[in-house]
Structure 1
Amino acid sequence: MNAEKITTGLAQTMAAASSEETIPIIVKYRTGVVAAQKLVPGVSPAFRYKLVPAVAMRVKPADIQTLSEDDSVVRIWQDLPVHTCLHESLPLIGVPAVWAAGVRGRGVKIGIVDTGIDPDHPDFAGRIVSGANFVRDGSSYRDDNGHGTHVAGIAAGDGSVLGGKYRGVAPEASLYVAKVLDAGGSGMMSGVMAGIEWAVEQGVQVINLSLGGPAPCDGTDALSETCDAAVAAGVVVCVAAGNLGPKAKTVGSPGCARQVITLGASDKLDDIASFSSRGPTSDGRTKPDLVFPGVDIVAPRARGTTMGYPLDDYYTTASGTSMATPHATGAVALLLQTDPTLTPTQVKDLLMQTAKDLGFEANTQGAGRADVHQAYLLASAPPPPEEPGEPEPPQPPGEPEGCWQAIKRALRMGG
């Protein structure tokens, strides 16, 4: 057995398991290896991934030992559970001023990777483009928990039930929904990874992950690597920091991923919510990146669910970094409508550069509480004029166009 390829947690699980017990794992292969040729005989993988060269499956401890000895295998993780992150926000972050400029997320595709969505809720009418289910033994993306509907509403609900009173941040954006968590708000890393990959394949520009797994973490787990791969593919990924605060080192996976935007929660008085997870990551990096409002947020309620504190048949109130995260996702949609050429890194920088410093240390507030209007102003500002250069000398008579400039450059370079 090559113990270096097996994570510490998986090794502990193997030691406690019987020889016939099966363990859910995620196996990463070297790039270019055809995973189908390297599977355990008689075992069908639950998922095969493209963003990272990996498969998810359940195998016996002896099979894990055999896999670890395969030269094409890079890393073997245990497939761990993930859960939802529960516990007048838009004026506080300047969203109405962006709406006034005609920017409401039109044309931007948002991926909601969560418990699903209530497709019949009026606040989403005509804007749910596609959905898929990645929960074991499930087929529908209908929300049987309520969390995903609430999250989607914060990001992109239009508030039509009450004339726009509970409108989301980007009420004209399109929604793509991956159900990866069950009625209890729980799922497995492997299903979340599959949902992220599906969303990327659908062409979404920003993905919302109001969920999390074990804390602390260092960004090298399978789910974090998948999130970073999605960012590398050009997709902004917004992730909840978690609700294990106020202790340090409580940011869970995939909030510890390096390239994502990790969100903590603030309240309407610009204080940090006590439950909001704090950094640093286990390898010493600052997290969260920003905070958004996440306390007592009113948003759509999925029919037949009781998540949060229901106000009526259509809306419910909830708190958590789960609620802060879709504020960020909606903000990203507004910025991408403003300038569709923005890269994930540029979007993250815009939000962090314009955030309001709330006076807390970086591993509590990140760059501060986001100011979406200021980020929009920076994104929509014309580029600064170029510095006037040295005037070109007159073209010598008889020389072909551009020849003199080429000679001049060569002379400057010493050629």
Structure 2
Amino acid sequence: MRTILALSIVALFFVPTLSFDTGRAHTGDIGRIAPSFHEKLADALISDRFDIIVRFDSPAGEHAALLSRLGLETDIVLDSINAASMEATKAQILDLSRAEGVVYIECDEPLAYFMEVSAVAIGASSIWNYAILDDGEVVYDDHGYMKRIDGRGVTAVVLDTGIDAGHPDLDYGTKTIKNEKREESGWTEMENSDTSSGHGTHCAGTVAGNGDASAGQRRGVAPGANLYGMSTGEGLSIIYAVEALERVYQQSRPNENPYNIRVVSNSWGTSGDRYDPNGAITQIVEKLVYENHVAVVFAAGNDGGDGTDIRTNPYSNIPASIGVAAALRDGTGIADFSSRGHRDIQETWPDVAAPGVDIWSTAPRGTLIDGSQRPTDDDLYYMAISGTSMATPHVAGVVALLYQAAPSLGVSPVHEDYSGGEGGPPASEWYNDTTTLVSEAELILEATADYIEPPAEGVPSGNWTNDHGHRFDFAQGCGLVNVTRAVKVALALERLRTYDGDGDG
């Protein structure tokens, strides 16, 4: 039975070792235990049990003898990052942390979906009429239709509560080409994987809904893109999230990417903090972005803030990921609930913003959200809800458009903005670390975003400029994504790279 753990960790417990008087000495190597786990472990009884994720210096299977000696059994094995989940007592965790071959141990914490109880604002609808050109000539598909920038040929993964692909906008088999749910027996394919909350169905419609039930009026940002639903149900935790992301990694490797997966939308996370460079989610996100050139988009969170502390989702603060703040519906300000970073720690700021207030999108059938909204929305197919959960799929949809325009997009030579401060590495170390590079998709979004000037609602006064000369702040990052400008830059970049026919510029 999975142990349900508290969402918040109040303090860090920094000592050289963890030791306890238990009749037999148990000391742990604190450098191998996640800082977010220190206090919880220190306060526990030696026999208390935890669900943990252990990362090794080689595949987990090679450490079977060690685990057997300590009386441990693996549950989920994560081959791509040499990790495995298991249940262990405090005593076993401490002994494990000192064992040869063990790199890092973290607690499997529950995660939350970022939702409170659009496409026009960011310019997406205007780009749908842009034709694709080759040597100045319009390109047509096999049916004689002019190819347009609408995400066609690109697949976006929505890692969430699932997708109700019985919705007319999310047709199972054609629009939603894969729809899997994590059950006790493993990952199961089904038409409707969103049967409890409805959160994921709403997000999926914003990414790529085709608008069939509204005569096209409520299409998603990339209405031509395909969807791949990955449902962890309501019981989302770190291990299930990592397992899902590893599944995406395995299916999106270069030259082994049958669905052309290019972006993952993640409207979930945990309470504000810096990111953990050694955490399992960080490790798999970096592999997706740096090895497979798949963009990973995360919600900044719904904890508000005023810049005096870190409120942003730590997974949105991973340099390889794209962190998204929630703007007002019309893009004229930033929502008060949208999580802010610390004003003095730029690496905790969101990267960009997108509409996240009263966002209309696809309504799931017979779910918690459906039941709570139906009396007020009075629409069989759509509903309006708010949160950075709603802003994130807007950006995922924009990224799908960028990858259609420029399939060669990969990793940029630019590092995530950094101001250091207490708890961070020296700037020289940050700017020489390849795991602080941002993707080209993120760089384009930031460089072309519309900065929302103060005194607009929710925008702090101040004058900050990032490393590539763009205004930004701790509430909105570089500002509201501008689809038209971003796609134009992507098209120009792809043209420069393919002009001589060999793809290298």
TM-score by length of 1: 0.86
Instruction: Give distance in 2, aligned partners of 1:282 and 1:67.
Output: 37
The answer to whether the Cα contact below 8 Å between 2:274 and 2:348 also exists between their aligned partners in 1 is no
1:357 alignment counterpart: 451
Establish whether residue 195 from structure 1 lines up as the match of residue 244 from structure 2: yes
The answer to whether the Cα contact below 8 Å between 1:132 and 1:179 also exists between their aligned partners in 2 is yes
Give per-residue Cα distances to partners, 1:178-235, cap 9 Å, x unaligned.
11242xxx41111001111112222221101000113212332322332222211211
Instruction: Give distance in 2, aligned partners of 1:21 and 1:154.
Output: 43
Establish whether residue 243 from structure 1 lines up as the match of residue 354 from structure 2: no
Instruction: Give distance in 1, aligned partners of 2:65 and 2:385.
Output: 45
2:222 alignment counterpart: 170
Instruction: Give distance in 2, aligned partners of 1:377 and 1:50.
Output: 39
Instruction: Give distance in 2, aligned partners of 1:358 and 1:51.
Output: 40
Aligned to 1:164, what secondary structure does the other structure show? coil
Aligned to 1:161, what secondary structure does the other structure show? helix
Which of 169, 189, 194 is 1:143 aligned to? 194
The answer to whether the Cα contact below 8 Å between 1:33 and 1:72 also exists between their aligned partners in 2 is no
Which of 68, 90, 93 is 1:64 aligned to? 93
Instruction: Give distance in 2, aligned partners of 1:156 and 1:262.
Output: 19
Q: Percent identity of the aligned residues? A: 31
Give per-residue Cα distances to partners, 1:247-278, cap 9 Å, x unaligned.
43101231121111000010115100001111
Q: Which moved more, 1:153-162 or 1:34-43?
A: 34-43
2:44 alignment counterpart: 17
The answer to whether the Cα contact below 8 Å between 1:219 and 1:225 also exists between their aligned partners in 2 is no
Establish whether residue 208 from structure 1 lines up as the match of residue 265 from structure 2: yes
The residue correspondences of 1:2-401 to structure 2 (distance < 5 A) are 2-31=29-58, 34-37=61-64, 40-41=67-68, 42-87=71-116, 89-101=118-130, 102-125=148-171, 126-134=174-182, 140=188, 142-144=193-195, 145-182=197-234, 186-203=235-252, 204-220=261-277, 221-233=279-291, 234-248=293-307, 249-267=310-328, 268-280=330-342, 285-307=347-369, 309-310=373-374, 311=377, 312-344=379-411, 345-359=439-453, 360=459, 362-381=473-492
Report the number of matched residues: 381
2:311 counterpart letter in structure 1:
T
Give per-residue Cα distances to partners, 1:361-401, cap 9 Å, x unaligned.
5111111111011101111126579xxxxxxxxxxxxxxxx
Aligned to 1:110, what secondary structure does the other structure show? strand
Show structure 1 runs of 5+ residues with no match: 386-415
Aligned to 1:165, what secondary structure does the other structure show? coil
Instruction: Give distance in 1, aligned partners of 2:200 and 2:229.
Output: 9
Q: Identify if the C-alpha distance between structure 1 residues 35 and 266 changes in structure 2 by more than 3 Å, giving closer, same or farther.
A: farther
Q: Which moved more, 1:278-287 or 1:77-86?
A: 278-287
TM-score by length of 2: 0.71
The answer to whether the Cα contact below 8 Å between 1:128 and 1:175 also exists between their aligned partners in 2 is yes
The answer to whether the Cα contact below 8 Å between 2:346 and 2:474 also exists between their aligned partners in 1 is no
Rg (Cα) greater in structure = 1
Q: Which moved more, 1:338-347 or 1:41-50?
A: 41-50
Residue 286 of structure 1 and its aligned partner are, at CA, apart by 4.3
Instruction: Give distance in 1, aligned partners of 2:451 and 2:265.
Output: 24
1:111 counterpart letter in structure 2:
V
Q: Identify if the C-alpha distance between structure 1 residues 35 and 262 changes in structure 2 by more than 3 Å, giving closer, same or farther.
A: farther
Q: What is the alpha-carbon root mean square deviation over aligned residues?
A: 2.2
Q: Identify if the C-alpha distance between structure 1 residues 135 and 211 changes in structure 2 by more than 3 Å, giving closer, same or farther.
A: farther
Instruction: Give distance in 1, aligned partners of 2:232 and 2:282.
Output: 16
The answer to whether the Cα contact below 8 Å between 1:135 and 1:191 also exists between their aligned partners in 2 is no
Instruction: Give distance in 1, aligned partners of 2:343 and 2:266.
Output: 18
Tell me: higher relative CO, structure 1 or 2? Use CA pairs within 8 A at least 6 residues apart. 1
1:337 counterpart letter in structure 2:
Q
Q: Identify if the C-alpha distance between structure 1 residues 153 and 135 changes in structure 2 by more than 3 Å, giving closer, same or farther.
A: same
